[in-house]
Amino acid sequence: MLVRYWQPWREIDTLRRQFDQLFDSVASSDSFDWTPAIELKDTGNELVVRAQLPGIDAKNLDVQVMRNAISLAGEHRQEQRTEEHGLFRTEFRYGKFQRVIPLPVEVQNDQVKAEFKEGILSLTLPKVEQAKVVKLNLADTGGALEAGTEAPQA
């Protein structure tokens, strides 16, 4: 019969090396999946959308506004780094991102006001005016009424 002694420190060391390899492979990947945090506020006549985009240049940002959604896409580019500055580790996230933000109401996408200041993108989106409901009274007109005219008052 073969007797094997359990060596927990060797197994823990193996597990530690496997975790280190896993984290190193994730850290060296250029495709971090992240999405910017947003804030959506309804002020009555308009919607205000704010997105946190720290460290991203305006030239690396693509914003598209549709009537019922906003598409944000961009890239946080990694700087060239050298070991002479003493950088041993970085936790900054680099890479591309894309996020589509559905809007609760339709907006006038040709009248958007945008501001990008200190890593915060602010979009002011005027709402589409609701179509007015017009009640037609066909009983008093004999069944014929043109659009845009009012029924005669009795």
Q: What is the mean pLDDT of residues 49-54?
A: 92
Domains by residue range for the chain, with CATH: 31-126 (2.60.40.790)
Q: What is the pLDDT of residue 104?
A: 92
pLDDT at 111: 93
| pLDDT for position 62 | 93
pLDDT category at 114 given cuts 50, 70, 90 is very high
More confident residue, 129 or 68: 68
- Cα(105)–Cα(118) distance, rounded to whole angstroms? 28
Q: What pLDDT shows up at residue 50?
A: 96
Mean pLDDT of all residues in 10-23: 85
pTM for the structure as a whole = 0.59
- If one compares 152 and 93, the residue with the highest pLDDT of the two is 93
pLDDT above 70: percentage of residues in the chain = 72
More confident residue, 34 or 80: 34
Predicted pLDDT of residue 154: 44
Q: Confidence class of residue 151 from pLDDT cuts 50, 70 and 90?
A: very low
The stretch 15-30 carries a mean pLDDT of: 74
